[in-house]
């Protein structure tokens, strides 16, 4: 049965999609079956693995709102072992359409259940909000990965995120926990970046990964070519960092962490 990770932070621009795409791709490159589930209406994870959103007839929206079986939406990518559940802007209306549903927080978990056993890992890219879509992602996952940018106000909103995770754990998903906190976009030349890293490590302790994702031009370029950086430029510092972090995720999982 696949282990499900939600990459979550309600702040935008923290490297959430970059993390979801590259962790999923790096795990697939390590010869595992991986499903990347794009639950963000912006659909950047979808285009980030080379899927043209304009040509899609179905997406995660149709799974959540129209009860289309998820296996009918899953698409292969050019990376062996990596499939994707795509997203489009249609998803922006899903929260309103889900509101009247019974057990509306469980819709994604129920939809994911029939395909989970086909994969060793499922990685969910969540929207930059703490609305019903993100609640669905947290209810459906085993654990959260929280990327935090090494910049001013890095911890702003983290208390609210922690509160939401705790609420979901108590009421909807008793197994939910933060498995990894990942520091992203670090510029080692900036003293502020070092201060932010210390602050985050003091706040979260052991769950902060020793791997830090550097600010890297290749990381910024890769999405415009529809590729994860681990494919686009595997020798870049960004690609190496994400490979190391993916290895940490797999090792953490193999130790039976819950």
Domain residue limits, the chain = 3-141+217-254
In this prediction, residue 154 carries a pLDDT of 79
* Closest alpha carbon to 138 in 166, 96, 101, 103: 166
Residue 254, pLDDT above cutoff 70: no
Residues 65-97 have pLDDT tens digits of 999 999 999 999 999 999 999 999 999 989 899
In this prediction, residue 157 carries a pLDDT of 82
Residues 158-201 have pLDDT tens digits of 888 999 999 999 999 999 999 999 999 998 788 888 888 998 99
Strand residues in the chain grouped as ranges (E): 3-7, 34-38, 75-76, 82-85, 121-125, 143-149, 178-186, 208-214
Residues 18-32 have pLDDT tens digits of 999 999 999 999 999
CA 240 to chain centroid, in Å, comes to: 18
Per DSSP, 214 falls in state E
Burial per residue of 197-219, b for 16 or more beta-carbon CB atoms within 10 angstroms, e otherwise: beebbeebeebbbebbbbbbeeb
Strand residues in 55-139 grouped as ranges (E): 75-76, 82-85, 121-125
In this prediction, residue 258 carries a pLDDT of 42
* Closest alpha carbon to 213 in 244, 180, 241, 173: 241
On whether the 3-141+217-254 domain is CATH 3.40.190.10, my answer is: no
Is 65 exposed, middle or buried, given 0-12, 13-18 or 19+ CB atoms closer than 10 A?
middle
Residue 255, pLDDT above cutoff 70: no
How far is it, in rounded angstroms, from Cα 75 to Cα 63? 14
Residues 6+ apart with CB under 8 A from 234: none
Contact 5, 179 (CB under 8 A): yes
Q: Report the relative pairing of strands 82-85 and 75-76 from DSSP bridges.
A: antiparallel
Q: Round the CA-based radius of gyration of the chain to a whole number and report it.
A: 17
Is 28 exposed, middle or buried, given 0-12, 13-18 or 19+ CB atoms closer than 10 A?
buried
Residue 12, pLDDT above cutoff 70: yes
In this prediction, residue 1 carries a pLDDT of 64
Residues 96-139 have pLDDT tens digits of 999 998 899 999 999 999 999 999 999 999 999 989 999 999 99
Cβ-based neighbour number of residue 155 at 10 Å: 14
Instruction: Compute the mean pLDDT over every residue in the chain, rounded to the nearest whole number.
Output: 93
């Amino acid at each position: 049965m696949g282990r499900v990770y939600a990459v979550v932070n309600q702040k935008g621009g923290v490297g959430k999609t970059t993390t979801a795409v590259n962790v999923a791709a790096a795990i697939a490159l390590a010869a595992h079956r991986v499903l990347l589930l794009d639950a963000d209406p912006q659909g950047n994870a979808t285009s980030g693995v080379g899927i043209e959103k304009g040509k899609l007839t179905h997406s995660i929206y149709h799974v959540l709102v129209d009860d289309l079986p998820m296996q009918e939406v899953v698409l292969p990518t050019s990376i062996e072992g990596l499939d994707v559940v795509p997203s489009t802007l249609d998803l922006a209306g899903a929260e309103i359409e889900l509101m009247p549903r019974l057990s509306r927080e469980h819709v994604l978990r129920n939809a994911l259940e029939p395909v989970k056993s086909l994969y060793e890992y499922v990685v969910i890219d969540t929207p930059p909000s703490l609305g019903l879509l993100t609640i669905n992602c947290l209810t459906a996952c085993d654990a959260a990965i929280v990327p935090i940018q090494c910049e001013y106000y890095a911890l702003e909103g983290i208390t609210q995120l922690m509160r939401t995770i705790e609420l979901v754990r108590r009421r909807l998903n008793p197994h939910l926990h933060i498995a990894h906190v990942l520091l992203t976009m670090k510029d080692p030349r900036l003293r502020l970046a070092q201060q932010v890293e210390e602050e985050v490590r003091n706040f979260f302790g052991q769950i902060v990964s020793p791997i830090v994702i550097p600010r890297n031009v290749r990381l910024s370029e890769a999405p415009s070519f529809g590729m994860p950086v681990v494919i686009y430029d595997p020798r870049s510092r960004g690609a190496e960092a994400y490979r190391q972090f993916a290895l940490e995720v797999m090792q953490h999982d193999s130790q039976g962490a819950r």
